[in-house]
Structure formats: C-alpha cells, structure tokens
Structure 1
Amino acid sequence: MTQGQADRAGRNEKKRRRSPWALLGRGLLGLAALLLLAGGGAFAWLKSTSGAQRSGAVTVAGVSGPVTVTRDAWGVPHIRAATDADAVYALGFVHWQDRAWQMDFQRRVAQGRLSEVLGGAALEQDRFLRTWGFGRAAQAALPALSAQSRALIRAYTAGVNAAQAQGKTALEFRILGYTPEPWQDVDSVSWSKLMAFDLGGNYEEEVLGAQVVRALGEDGLNQVTAPYPAGAPTILSADELTGAAQSLTGAVSSGTDGTQAGGSQVAPPQGPGLPQETVQALRSHLLAARALGMQAVPGKGSNDWVIAGSRTASGKPILADDPHLGLTAPMLWYLADVQGDRLKAIGASIPGLPAIVIGRNDRVAWGVTNVNPDVQDLYIEPEDAPLTSRREVIRVKGQPDVTLTVRSSAHGPIISDAGARTVGPRVALKWTALQGGDTTMDAFLGLNYAQNWADFTGALRSYVAPSQNFVYADVDGNTGHYAPGRVPIRSGWDGSLPVSGDGSREWQGFIPFEQLPHTLNPADGLVVTANNQVVPGPGSRALGNDRNWAEPYRAQRITDLLSAAGKLTVPDVQRVQLDTTSLVWADLRGPLLATRPGSDRARQALEQLRAWDGNETTGSVPATLFEAWLMQLQEMGRDELGTDTVMNSLSVLNQLREADGSGELCAVNGQGDCAALLTRTLDTALADLQGRLGPDMKTWTYGRLHTVASNHRAFGNVQALAWLFNHSAPTPGGTNTVNVARPEHGTFRQTHGPSYRQVVDLANPNDSVFIGSLGQDGNPLGAHAADQQPRWIAGEYLPMSTDQADWGRVSTLTLKP
C-alpha cells in the first residue's frame, strides 16, 4: 500500500469512527455478546416477538368492511377491499408490519430528531436537517393537498397506527430501547422532501463550482465537470416535442409573468467570492447528508424507456424502469398490489407513502427517472439583507438539549452558519422543494387512478419536486413522456455558481406546465431516458446548464440494443436492463492501451485489457483492472482543488484526449503530462489491487472485489451488529453500464444501483414482471428479509400479476371491523 493510500485509508477510518452509527456501536457490543451467548433460543424469542401476524383474522378500528391481505410466495401483499380508503388503510397496516423501523427512521431524519434515540453522535445530522427545514416544508405541504389525497392519507395513517397497536416491535426498537410514536399524516409527506434532496444535487455542484473557480478560474468548470457532448442522444428530439413544449427548441418559453426562460445563458457576474472557510461550512452539510446515505454519487441515475407496439412482437407497448438509488437494508421499495373500488394499482411503493410510486394499474403503466433540472440556487446575501431567526431545540439522548438558531433570508435558510458560528459571507439556499404549495403527493396518488393520457398528464400538473422523466404506456397502444415539476426561469445566468442576493439574480417564475418537455406517440416508437440531456440545442439550458446531465453512455447503449433487436419481447427488454457492457471502456480503450508500462506487472495488465470486450462480469479480471485504474484517474483534479473530488469518466476522457497530451489536470503540482499520469496511475491501481487481492493477477476476478453492500441505515457500520443486518454478494456491472453498479470510490463496493426493476407488458399486463434489490421484510430474521437479492443479482424477476394463480404459496390475513 502506498503512503497516499495509507493516508486515505486512515482518513476513511477516522470518518467511520466518527459516524453516528460507529459511535453507537460501542454501546451495543454487550447486546451482541448476549445474543451470541444465548444462541438459538434468543433468536427464536426475538423472531416471535418482532414477527407480525400474516394469517388468520384480526379486528381493527377504522375499516368499513373486511379487507384481505394475501401475501404471495415472496411476501408481496395483494390487498382486496371494497373501498379505496380501506385498501390504502391496509397498505399502511402492512407497511408498518414489515417496515416499522424504516418508517420511523425516515420520519426522524425528515424531522431532524435522530439525536433523541441515537444520542450526541447524530447531532451534526440533526443540525443539517433542522437548518434546511425538511420537516417544516412537509408541514407546509400537507394543507395544500386535495381533499381526496388528505382523505387517503388519513386512511393510511389509521392503518399504520392499527398495526402499531398490535404490539409487535421491530428488532431495532428493542436494541435502541425506545417505543415509536403514533404515525401522523404529515409523516407521509416528509419522505418526499428527502427524496427531492437525494435526487437534486445542484447545491453540491455549486459548492464544487465555487472551489473550482477559485482554483482554476471559470474555464475550469468544464474541465472538472464535462459539458454534455454535442451529438450525444437526447431523450426527445426537436420534432418529438409536443405543443407548447416546442418553444424549448428555440430556447424561448414565456413565464407566468411574461418573462423568457432559456434565453442567452451567460456566465454570471459573481457576487463576493466565497472564502475557503465558508466553502467548508457549506460542505459540512454535504458530509452530514452523506452520513445519512443522502448524497450525489457520480454515475447514479436511473433508466426507463417505453416501446410502441410498432416495435414489439405483440403489437402493444412495453414499458421498463429501473431507478438507481441507494441499496440499503431493508430496501427502499416495498412491492404491493392494492385494489379497492376504483384503485387498481400494482408496483413499487415506499413505506410511509400511501401510493404505488412506480408501476401500473389495469389500463396504464408508468416509470420514472431523474430529470435533474437546476432547481437550487445559492445566494450570497449582502450585509444589510434582512434576516429572520427561529429557535430549534434538539433533544439529545443522555445529554442536555441543544438549541440551534436558524436564520433565513428572503431566499431561504442561511446554510453557511457553522453550528453557532457565522462564517464569512451569509449564503442562503433557494430550492423549489422548500417552498409552499408542494402538491407532489396529489400527483402520485392521481397516477394510481389514471386511465388514459389525459388523466396521466392531469395528475402530473400537481407535480413539484423532484422533477422526473415519466414514461407512459396504456392498453390502447399509446406511449408518451412528460418531465413535470417546478423549474425556475432565470434570465442572464445559468445557475451553476453562487450569485449575489442583491436582487439582480432572481427567479422569474417557473416554466409553465405546457412548455415542459413532453411527447405523445413519437413517430419512431421509442423514448429512452437515462438522466441524459432532455431536449437538443439551447432549449436544454432552460432546464439547467450543459453540465447538469448524466454522461450519455447508458442512454446510447440502451438505444443501440433496442434498435438492433427487431420485434421486441419482454425477455428482450429484460436482457437490456441486465446489460453490463461498458461504453466507458470503449471510449477510454485507446488512450489507456497506449500507456507506457512502468513495470512487468503493468505490461501484463495491459495485455489483459487489450483482449477484453468490456463486459463487466463477476468472473472478469480485466473489469477489475479497468475500474481500479479509472478510480485512480478520477482523482486527477485533487491536487489542484485540494478536495476529495471524484471526476466523472467523461471529464477524464476529455483530459486524456487533449491534442498535445497535456490536459491541465493531468499534471501533478504543475509537473508531468497525461502520458506520465497514465503510467503512474496504472502502477498505483495495481499496487492497490495486490494489497487487496494478493500477488496473482489471474485471481483478481471482479466479484472478489465488487460486492453489493445493502447495509442497514443505522447499524451498517456497527461491527457488533452488521453481520445480522447487512447483506452482501458479488455483483456484475460497473461505471455507467446499463445495469449500473459503479464501484464506490476507495472500497469498490456497490452502494447504489437498480433498486427496483419492472418490465410491463401492455398486451397482457399480468405477464409483467418486477423485482426489488433485497426483500419485503424489514426484520433481519424474517423469511423474506433478503430472498429477492439472489434473483436480483442473477437477473431474474417475480410475476407482477394480480392473478392469484401466479402467486405461488400464499398466506391470507383478514382485517375485520
């Protein structure tokens, strides 16, 4: 191990020890020891006291008639009720039965109340969450929802609390020694705020941008974060945009106040510069978010696409989706089939939310990926800007309460205050998700009821954040795409850097719904989204700057595979979802193979790579070599920026393609060129791999190093308990493969990826398939805690069917009034 690697390992170990979960673990060693000493009897007792009732009958308050919950062979509930309210009640009931800890943890994160149960180790996370005001934003959103949504949320809340009243307690509550509070309606809104943060990383990009400009000037922005390449695939072509959205191709769209969006996007005159101490204060929020698993990850994204009947063997559409999010234990998603009198939806729900988020009903299917428009801005407030203040009292387990003063300007919360200290200029955050009138829950509930394109788009009018690419298909053969959400109109600046809060750089309303990108029945019968640029030309800048979009590799590979396959079937689409061939390797192959080897081992590695087809399977040695080398190359900007910046692969490629071989970031402290960098980083990568895998390169198969890490949100880094709660296994795929599985920088673990997959067949909806990344049960001792993971890795699916003949062995629980 080199000295640099040792230093990084030391820093990572210190961070791990400082994390709230690692600190918490020191107090849990005794419990783990007791469990081990007690042996099987202790586990049997824990399983019996935390396992929920899943068969027979139970009398509950709040339903109007009997409701059946039939769990299939994989633990997926199929709910049948006479009314929609009773069906949603039952969804709340089973969510709490199977995911009580997850639900309570999520609402505590949203409210900034982790310290109450975890102690002072979680104080920095609570400070971040209270300062941003996620819980306050959720409280403000609830009254804006429609009467129907509020009624369904009330029914869901009643179901959650009925399950809680049954007395079964999740294992985590026992370990931490507390009893969860009753569910409240606002708790069902709060998680959407955290999802909006997880899927909206412009704040982090602006902080990085401030560092880049300080170190390299504004020209450095395009070096560190490469612009989307000209000619790369966009989600919609100019001729596919429908109606008023066609105005985006001319980069002109009228706001509600008559101003124009997407016009000349010039580099902004910057406000006062951000001193390093202010940047560090801003980054402290990022570190707190990362400790909670909320982070922007290079290469993180999602895929979805819809194929018209003209391209399929059945003559009806096929719709596919696989959202790429954090892989946790328990998994984020909860598969469910919910049917009342009008509600007939099946797909992926999120515990805590009273809706199917991704899926289908009896007529319509939909999928989502992140649009990632620029909906956040940092404002450097003048010294005379008026501020308001509020006191937040954070209760800390075993310690005195901590009082936090949160200041806000007209733009939003001041997020540059470091704890109780003011650090340099006051920087405020303006973000669509923190503003009032958020009716996103109306949209998701409305989608569950949609029967046609008009219903579908009508529901999406209520959508606020996080903006998503919705693909659409129906049993009548229609296909479409819509990118809803509040997208600010800026005039004269592109939102990529902090600006002055003196009033010269204000939002001019939002792009009207009709002018947001959308299409119905495109002529070529195909819409592919992979977080790539949405529309071509300058119109894309109405949504964000040229660096907003994911690299085009996944979008290109999906389009190539679907276009080459002839008349498509559901198995064809499954194979595309599971593809692990790297177009990143195809782009970097030339520069990498031209490297001058610095050792015999480097020469051997280059020969391995020369014969490689780019398929990142678990048995591949070249996949290991490539990802380890790429990881080293992605650090090339660190000496210039003085940060832990990880550049994306497109930025690396642009540096290596410099005509004279002297990309500015290739040099180390101003010395050397790209050729020297390639030689040095290959040697460093090989030394790292030898330290991890031993001296024999032939044994360096990818699966030995690259494993999925579905870790528990609280106990994942607690050595005494991780063995019980975490789930790991070798996985294929890599950076920007369709089956995305980017190795985590420094560990090679896969922490993000296709958290859920679905392929919907509109010719026969019950022939559709879906699968989650882990399992239905949040109880680590439960039969369905991780039974989907082997199938998910192997590329298998479960039947997404409402027909009991497809459910296998079942158990039925009846909820009786």
Structure 2
Amino acid sequence: MTGEIFRDAWGIPHLRADGVDELARTQGRVTALDRAWQLEVERHRARGTSASFLGAESLSWDVLVRRVRLDDTARRCFEALERQDPETARWVRAYVDGVNEGLAEGARRTPEFARTGLAPGRWEPWTPFGIWLGVHLLFAGFPAKLWREQVRRHLGPGAVGLFATDGPGTSGSNGWLLSGERTLTGQAIIAGDPHRFIEEPGVYQQIHLSCPEFDVVGLAVPGVPGIAHFGHTGSVAWAITNAMADYQDLYRERLRRTGAGVEALDPDGEWRRATRHTETVEVAGEEPVEVEVIETARGPVIVGGPEGLPDGTTGGDRGDPPLALALRHPPRVTGDLGFGALLPLLRARRVADVDRALDAWTEPVNVVQAADTEGGLLHRVAGKVPVRSTANRLHPVPAWEPGHEWRGWHETPRGDLTDGVAAMANQRGLATPLGVEFAAPHRADRITALLAEKERWSAADMPAIHGDTHLASAAPLLDLLAGLGGLGPAAERVRRTLLAWDRRMDADSTDAALYARVRGAVVRRLAAHPAFAALAVP
C-alpha cells in the first residue's frame, strides 16, 4: 500500500505505511499539507533568502546565514551522511520527496502565499539539515559570548558574573521522571514540558508514525523527518530539556587583504589564505545587498572583516591588523548533524536502544530522560561539546594565540536515578561540566518538592504539576520589599498586598498582576541606570 493518513478529532495526523521510506514520504507530504507556509519560511531562512519576500526586516538574518555558511554546512552534513549511513540518507530523501509532492496543494490552502505572491520552491535532500541548523543556530552559546564581551569592554571582566543567567528571572523547559517504585501502576512516568516561544504555528508537530518496524507517537519538528525530542514507541519513551551546554566558540581574527584575496593570522604566526566569495541577498522593495563571505581555519567570519568590526574596533594602537569574529561549531567542523540518531530512536524498544541512538546526537545538547516497560531508566546528556580552554567558553578568544584549539569531545555526563526521581529544568546540575550559565534552580526545586508530597503518583496526577503556578522566582523582589520602610501610603499598600500574596500566578489573580507591574517597573528603572546605558553597542 501507499502511505495512509488518518486524522483524529483534534486533526492530529496518524500515518501508516508498509515501509520506513514510504512512511517518511507520507510524513513529508502531510507536513507540507498542514505546514506549507512554515516549511517555506524555514527553507528560505536556512538559505538566507527570506528578505526576498519578507522584506528588509529579515535582511540581518539572511546576512548572518550567508556569512555563517549555513546552507553549505547542511549540504556537507547530508553528503557525509550519504557516505556513512546510506539508509538514513535515503530515508531523509524520501521525506523530502513527500514535501515536494505536497507543497503545491499545501500552498493553495494557505493564504500567506497569495498575500505575498510567494510560490513554493523545490526542496533539496539537505533542506531538513538546513532547517535544523537554522532553528538551533541561536539556541546555543555564541550570542551570550557577544553579550559578555560588551560587559567586559564597558564594565570590566569582574562585572561579567553580575549578568549570568543563573538568576531568578530565567525561564525555560521542565521535565521529570518517576521510576515504577514511585507510581501507582509500577510503571515509570516521564513528563516533558517544553517552554518554547509562543509561535503560530509552533516549532513542534504532534504526529503518529506507524509501519511494520515501529509505531511511535510524539512531537516532530516540521521540515525534519522522524520524532527527535519527545517520543513514545510503546515500550520506551523519552523527553528532553536544553542542557545549557556551551559548544559554540567565537574567535577574534586578524585579517588582511592581499592581491589574491584575504589572509588570516594563525596561532603559529603564519598568515594563511582564508576562503572568500561574495553573495547577493535580494530584498523585497529595496536594492539587493552584497555580502562578503570569509572563512578561516577556525570557521566562518560572522562579524566584521579585513576592515575591522562594525563598531570601529580594529587591531589596537600598534598598527595591528583589523579584527573580525569567526564562529566555530560542531557540525561545521565534523560534517555531522546527528541525523544518524533519528531512525534508531524510532526503532528503540528499550532504554538501552535510546541510549545507543543518542550516542550519535550532535546538537542541540540536551538533558534526556527515558524509561521503558521493563523498568529501565535513563538520565543523561546527549550531544557534542568540544574540549578547549576555559577562556573559549566565556568570551571571544584571539585566533592568533595558541591554546584555544579544540582537543576532542567531552564525555556526556549521566545521572544517578537510585532514588527513582529526577527533575530537569535547565538548572546547574547534570550538565554543569559542559556549560557556563544555567537557569536558577527554583523550577527544578519546586518540581522535586511537589513530587515529594506523595509516595505514589499516577499519570492522571501530572497535570497538577504541569499547571502549578507558584512563582518561586518572586522571592528576591519580595524579600527586598519586606525590608523597606518609610514608604508613602500608596506604596505601603502595594507593599503589604504583595507580602500577603500567595505567590501564585493564576490568570485571575489581581495580586499576581500587581506583582508583574511592580517587577516591570523595577526592571525599567534598572535599565535606565547610567551603568546599563553605557552597555549600548555603538
């Protein structure tokens, strides 16, 4: 038979086919029917062509994508997969074939195409790789390094820690695992609670994939075959949160133009040729923009060039060559995006199968929890994090100085589940050796405390934890209010109201709304402080 599509009462697609490849083709087709606009926007974003129909607001993204060589990295990763894992490469091709089959019909159903005049384009076999890279490019650490560099320049190295994200205001995803000893049925429970930005449509797609080899339900990423982050095969299930690992590096490069092109200064003191070419970005309603694309031995130059950085920073007062910033990240270095893990995850029957599959995972680096019907449990980090100097993890480092090279990969940590409970909420914990900044522990602590309130839990009990509205991060501001005195009558009423508040962010809570207004006012007041104003990028 060909692939079959059945939709339940909620419109969720349930797919069935006689083989793995035909199922992938059906998944691609149904995704194109349901998410045509999303797929095409993401394809253009991955190629750096979104400004051609979305306009100048998308130009900065397109320039970054061109300079970071995202489409070229996607192509490299697919070509490497074809050589090393032909079965998975064929499966990805089948998914792409399905997308191409369904896009025209999906576009006819989607008003955005008519409003913009965009016609759906043709997907290449590596397009899913580009979409995965595009979704996660800013998900990791290099934007934080740019921020820390601004703090270092304006306030000094000692101020960097003041802005760490291990603060009370940090939000993120939650997840927890209970072993069979802590449940009413004797079977483990895994709860996944991904906190993504509110988007329409969302980054995930509920789906059911069935063929003679497997029967899996979970959340797919539209544009990528299979089910990666949250899945259940009937006998084993898994869920993830972001590990907050640091696996992207920025190098300050010294570049110079020569008659033959551009050269970069390497750690051994030698000038070596960097690759260089130009690309043209089309912009709807405006003139096209030419982008110079340069890549050194460290990686693609994403900021600046032979003439220096955009803020006017050059090499210093001694006539040093101008500076630029190059990005180094695992897929560009290895040609591996971890897609080799996707089919083994679908075929997994036990925790050991999930564990082996995740050994091939690359990015994003995740904390994973898994459990199977035989009592197997898993709590580990999955993904590639390079071994390098501490300085690399904190801020941009000089490419021309030795000691900043990558020296292999970290072993991924594993957690202890002897007490039968594990909570993950982007906090400093299992992944601590791999990161710099993490979310504050209050969310993980709250989940752990709630799970300790009962000896045995059921799946039906889990919504009480998912829906918990207690805001532990309110404590620092409320503690500050408790110590204030000499306020005027109006301010004193606000203070007393907030100190009596139960700290629950219920939708109908006037006290919660008052807290949100006060917190917003405090943040705005702090942002207006001269010390913060000095951090503005020139």
Query: Does TM-score exceed 0.5, indicating one fold?
Result: yes
Distance (Å, rounded) in 2 between the aligned partners of 1:338 and 1:420:
52
Matched, 1:368 2:240: yes
CA gap of 1:219–1:644, structure 2 versus 1, over 3 A, is closer
Q: Secondary structure at the match of 2:22?
A: helix
Q: Which residues in structure 2 correspond to 1:251-262 (within 5 Å)?
A: none
Q: Which residue of 1 aligns with 2:398?
A: 500
Q: Do the aligned residues in 2 keep the contact of 1:149 with 1:442 (CA within 8 Å)? A: yes
Matched, 1:516 2:407: no
Matched, 1:625 2:497: no
Q: Secondary structure at the match of 1:181?
A: coil
Distance (Å, rounded) in 2 between the aligned partners of 1:213 and 1:529:
31
TM-score (norm 1): 0.59
Task: State the AA in 2 paired with 1:379.
Answer: Y
Task: State the AA in 1 paired with 2:344.
Answer: G
457, 462, 480: which one aligns with 2:378: 480
Distance (Å, rounded) in 2 between the aligned partners of 1:585 and 1:422:
40
Summarize deviations over 1:186-241 as a string: whole Å, max 9, x none.
111112112322421x2222222122223332221222226689xxxxxxxxxxxx
Q: Which residue of 2 aligns with 1:458?
A: 356
321, 329, 339: which one aligns with 2:210: 339
Q: Which residue of 2 aligns with 1:33?
A: none
Q: Which residue of 2 aligns with 1:448?
A: 346
Q: Which residue of 2 aligns with 1:349?
A: 220
Q: Which residue of 2 aligns with 1:304?
A: 175
Q: Secondary structure at the match of 2:161?
A: helix
Summarize deviations over 1:347-400 as a string: whole Å, max 9, x none.
111211111121211211000100111112221223551433121122333555
Distance (Å, rounded) in 2 between the aligned partners of 1:369 and 1:491:
26
Q: Do the aligned residues in 2 keep the contact of 1:433 with 1:466 (CA within 8 Å)? A: no
567, 574, 582: which one aligns with 2:471: 582
CA gap of 1:643–1:365, structure 2 versus 1, over 3 A, is farther
Summarize deviations over 1:544-578 as a string: whole Å, max 9, x none.
23xx1111111110111011122011122221111
Distance (Å, rounded) in 1 between the aligned partners of 2:198 and 2:406:
38
Q: Which residue of 2 aligns with 1:156?
A: 95
596, 600, 603: which one aligns with 2:489: 600
Shift of 1:158: 1.8
CA gap of 1:346–1:617, structure 2 versus 1, over 3 A, is same
Q: Which residues in structure 2 correspond to 1:228-247 (within 5 Å)?
A: none
Distance (Å, rounded) in 1 between the aligned partners of 2:325 and 2:252:
5
411, 414, 426: which one aligns with 2:298: 411
Distance (Å, rounded) in 2 between the aligned partners of 1:504 and 1:534:
31
Q: Which residue of 2 aligns with 1:254?
A: none
Distance (Å, rounded) in 2 between the aligned partners of 1:139 and 1:101:
23
Q: Do the aligned residues in 2 keep the contact of 1:307 with 1:479 (CA within 8 Å)? A: no
Shift of 1:419: 12
CA gap of 1:419–1:589, structure 2 versus 1, over 3 A, is farther
Q: Which residue of 2 aligns with 1:69?
A: 5
Shift of 1:183: 2.2
Task: State the AA in 2 paired with 1:580.
Answer: T
Distance (Å, rounded) in 2 between the aligned partners of 1:583 and 1:622:
15
Distance (Å, rounded) in 2 between the aligned partners of 1:422 and 1:591:
42
Shift of 1:516: 1.1
72, 75, 78: which one aligns with 2:14: 78
319, 330, 348: which one aligns with 1:432: 330
Q: Which residue of 2 aligns with 1:543?
A: 434
Summarize deviations over 1:631-686 as a string: whole Å, max 9, x none.
333453652132689xxxxxxxxxxxxxxxxxxxxxxxxxxxxxxxxxxxxxxxxx
CA gap of 1:399–1:582, structure 2 versus 1, over 3 A, is closer
196, 205, 228: which one aligns with 2:136: 196
Q: Which residue of 1 aligns with 2:47?
A: 111
Distance (Å, rounded) in 1 between the aligned partners of 2:210 and 2:464:
31
Q: Which residue of 2 aligns with 1:122?
A: 58
Q: Secondary structure at the match of 1:335?
A: strand
TM-score (norm 2): 0.88
Distance (Å, rounded) in 1 between the aligned partners of 2:54 and 2:166:
42
Q: Do the aligned residues in 2 keep the contact of 1:480 with 1:527 (CA within 8 Å)? A: no
Q: Which residues in structure 2 correspond to 1:196-215 (within 5 Å)?
A: 196-200=136-140, 202-215=141-154
Q: Which residue of 1 aligns with 2:319?
A: none
CA gap of 1:463–1:643, structure 2 versus 1, over 3 A, is farther
CA gap of 1:523–1:594, structure 2 versus 1, over 3 A, is same
Distance (Å, rounded) in 1 between the aligned partners of 2:219 and 2:281:
34
Q: Which residue of 1 aligns with 2:317?
A: none
Q: Which residue of 2 aligns with 1:557?
A: 446
Distance (Å, rounded) in 2 between the aligned partners of 1:629 and 1:420:
46
RMSD of aligned alpha carbons = 2.4
115, 118, 124: which one aligns with 1:178: 118
Q: Do the aligned residues in 2 keep the contact of 1:305 with 1:527 (CA within 8 Å)? A: yes
Task: State the AA in 2 paired with 1:353.
Answer: V
Distance (Å, rounded) in 1 between the aligned partners of 2:43 and 2:330:
20
CA gap of 1:625–1:79, structure 2 versus 1, over 3 A, is same
Q: Do the aligned residues in 2 keep the contact of 1:376 with 1:430 (CA within 8 Å)? A: yes
Q: Which residue of 2 aligns with 1:330?
A: 201
Q: Which residue of 1 aligns with 2:249?
A: 377
The one of the two structures with greater contact order (alpha-carbon pairs below 8 A, sep at least 6) is 1
Summarize deviations over 1:121-173 as a string: whole Å, max 9, x none.
43222112211222222111112222121111121112112223547512111
Give the total of aligned pairs: 503
Shift of 1:315: 0.6
Q: Which residue of 2 aligns with 1:528?
A: 423
Q: Secondary structure at the match of 2:452?
A: helix
Q: Which residue of 1 aligns with 2:455?
A: 566
Distance (Å, rounded) in 1 between the aligned partners of 2:354 and 2:303:
41
Distance (Å, rounded) in 1 between the aligned partners of 2:534 and 2:468:
34
Task: State the AA in 2 paired with 1:83.
Answer: G
Q: Which residue of 2 aligns with 1:217?
A: 156
Summarize deviations over 1:757-805 as a string: whole Å, max 9, x none.
xxxxxxxxxxxxxxxxxxxxxxxxxxxxxxxxxxxxxxxxxxxxxxxxx
Q: 5+ unaligned residues in a row in structure 1: which ranges?
A: 1-64, 230-297, 646-817
Task: State the AA in 1 paired with 2:212.
Answer: D
CA gap of 1:490–1:394, structure 2 versus 1, over 3 A, is same
Q: Which residue of 2 aligns with 1:88?
A: 24
Q: Which residue of 2 aligns with 1:101?
A: 37
Q: Do the aligned residues in 2 keep the contact of 1:447 with 1:456 (CA within 8 Å)? A: yes
Task: State the AA in 2 paired with 1:189.
Answer: F
Q: Which residue of 1 aligns with 2:320?
A: none
